Amino acid sequence: MALEVLEALDSARTQWYHVTAIVIAGMGFFTDAYDLFCISTVSKLLGRLYYFDPTTGKPGKLPTPVNNVVLGVALVGTLTGQLVFGWLGDKLGRKKVYGITLILMVVCAICSGLSFGSSAKSVMGTLCFFRFWLGFGIGGDYPLSATIMSEYANKRTRGAFIAAVFAMQGVGIIFAGLISMLFSALFRSNYKALKFSLDPVLSTQPEGDLLWRIVLMIGAVPAALTFYWRMKMPETGRYTAIVEGNAKQAAADMARVLDIEIQAEQDKLADFKAANNYPILSSEFFQRHGRHLIGTMSSWFLLDIAFYSQNLTQKDIFPAMGLIDKDVDMNAIEEVFQTSRAMFVIALFGTFPGCWFTVFFIEKLGRFKIQLIGFFMMSFFMFIIGVKYDYLKDENKNLFGLLYGLTFFFANFGPNSTTFVLPAELFPTRVRATCHALSAAAGKAGAMVDAFGIQYLTLDGKSKKIKRAMILLAFTNLIGFFCTFLVTETKGRSLEEISGEDGRESELTPTPNRVSGPRQESRTETV
């Protein structure tokens, strides 16, 4: 019971429209990563500008609650946006809500940089308000980009295409460091100042207030550039046929992009609906897909505790690695430059290669193996860093940098990529965006554990607390390793076979109480 339009999508040769879809969806992810992580490059500058206390003898620093909210509020917005737009993507269609997320990202990136007012309270308040709604728009991009790419791709290269969209996150992090580094270098050369230890007051250049605003607002540019092309994309053939029930329109749309003739086969749609006539909140859904949903949610939750800890707290670990000077030995803009440079180097040599290794090897090794390897290696390297932190910090900074970079590499050549891919493949078309949203939201809940919890252990830079944080993260990754066994391999299969929505028995999906016929014994699920 396979529609010709779906078979055409599964067997289509790789062509220009696949590349176009990757670029359009990938630029959204590029923007997402830039917007989420650029705040790390300027958060210490915000502390110097708005929270300087001359009685402490130290540079200004965001109070811990304010720091956590500034870094974490976008994650709260992202979690909320994932759930809302994931549900809307299944109810209204992927394309109809895809443009809304982009508009939100453009407007709120600009407004985040404006952050009206001059007092610390007003600036931080408006910054957090707009970063929440920025995160809300970013959240919608997760389920929609993944779902659109999975439903456009052929079954031979689907994993690589979805991973390529996600790999743009690594590029976005690189550019977050690069743009911040370039602008801070420009400001540094034009607005010179003594380091803090020589002049505590004048070491904070007032022009730094413009610098952080520019860095945040630039996030609007790539999103705005792709809006026109995002609106030109047709609705996915799978959604049009299976959910809207319009096989004729689906065949016409996909025939145009694939440049082939496709039969509509409207009469077969009733069989699809009969095989999938159950709501997401039902015992049948949980019997068929519950294990996989628990697996994708738990593994993404555990991964993001570690991944966002790496990215959001790295500014606190860079001094121990010798990548940046002590804060008292820099002026405000110099600190932005050195923090951005360190972030750029780590992303370029750790995050970026890991993402693209996944793209190149996911169809050879499979999602399952890559996720297991990534979780295990992250746990291994973080445990070493935690146990040997004092030795690495004091006597072997090069080895420290190597180990820390390897945790980024195996996060991305591992669960940071595969947790994005698997939820886009395991679930039926009718609830695919919702299930991906639930999985991604679980990940952002993990990120919030870091933003509002783990960071307490790293903010003051004390060795004992950082050691405790790294060992805790090592065990978190180890739990993620075992949660991976709740999901299963999906490479080389059509989406309808994986989910069982074509009415056939699947070794991946149990099929209790089928509407279209008597209950059959399902084969044993394998990994």
What are the DSSP calls for 340-385, one per residue?
A: HHHHHHHIIIIIHHHHHHHHHHHHHH-HHHHHHHHHHHHHHHHHHH
Collect all residues with Cβ–Cβ distance below 8 Å to 306 and sequence separation of at least 6.
Answer: 378, 382, 407, 411, 473, 476, 477, 480
DSSP 484: G
Superfamily of domain 4-491: MFS general substrate transporter like domains (1.20.1250.20)
Domain ranges of the chain: 4-491
How many Å apart are CA 438 and CA 357, to the nearest integer? 26
Please tell me the predicted confidence (pLDDT) of residue 91: 92
Range of weakest confidence among 15-24, 213-222, 359-368, 407-416: 15-24
Residue 523 has a pLDDT of 38
- What pLDDT does 524 receive? 37
Model confidence at 396, in pLDDT bands (50, 70, 90)?
Answer: confident
Q: What is the pLDDT of residue 1?
A: 53
The residue with greater pLDDT, 281 or 309, is: 281
pLDDT, residue 526, reads 35
Distance of alpha carbon 80 from alpha carbon 61, whole angstroms: 29
In the predicted structure, residue 467 carries a pLDDT above the cut 50: yes
In degrees, to the nearest 5, what angle opens at C-alpha 37 toward C-alphas 214 and 93? 100
pLDDT in tens, 313-339: 566 567 766 778 888 999 999 999 999
The C-alpha atoms of residue 93 and residue 103 are separated, in whole angstroms, by 17
Q: What is the C-alpha to C-alpha distance for residues 138 and 72, in angstroms, rounded to an integer? A: 14
Q: How far apart are the first and last CA of the chain?
A: 25
Taking every pair of C-alpha atoms in the chain, what is the biggest distance, in angstroms? 82
Average pLDDT value for residue range 381-407: 86
Q: Return mean pLDDT, the chain.
A: 85
Reported as a pLDDT band with limits 50, 70 and 90, residue 459 is: low
> Residue 514's pLDDT is what?
41
| Element containing residue 329 per DSSP (H, E) | none
The predicted-structure confidence for 365-377, as pLDDT tens digits, reads as follows 999 999 999 999 9
- Burial string for 372-411 (b: 16+ CB within 10 Å, else e) reads bbbbbbbbbbbbbbbebbeebbeeeeeebbebbbbbbbbb
pLDDT at 456: 66
Using one digit for the tens of pLDDT, what is the confidence trace for 253-268?
A: 777 777 666 666 666 7
Average pLDDT over residues 277-281: 79
- The CA angle 394-398-401, to the nearest 5 degrees, is 100
Q: Are 136 and 322 in contact (CB under 8 A)?
A: no
Q: Which amino acid is at 96?
A: K
What are the tens digits of pLDDT across the range 98-124? 888 989 999 999 999 987 777 889 999
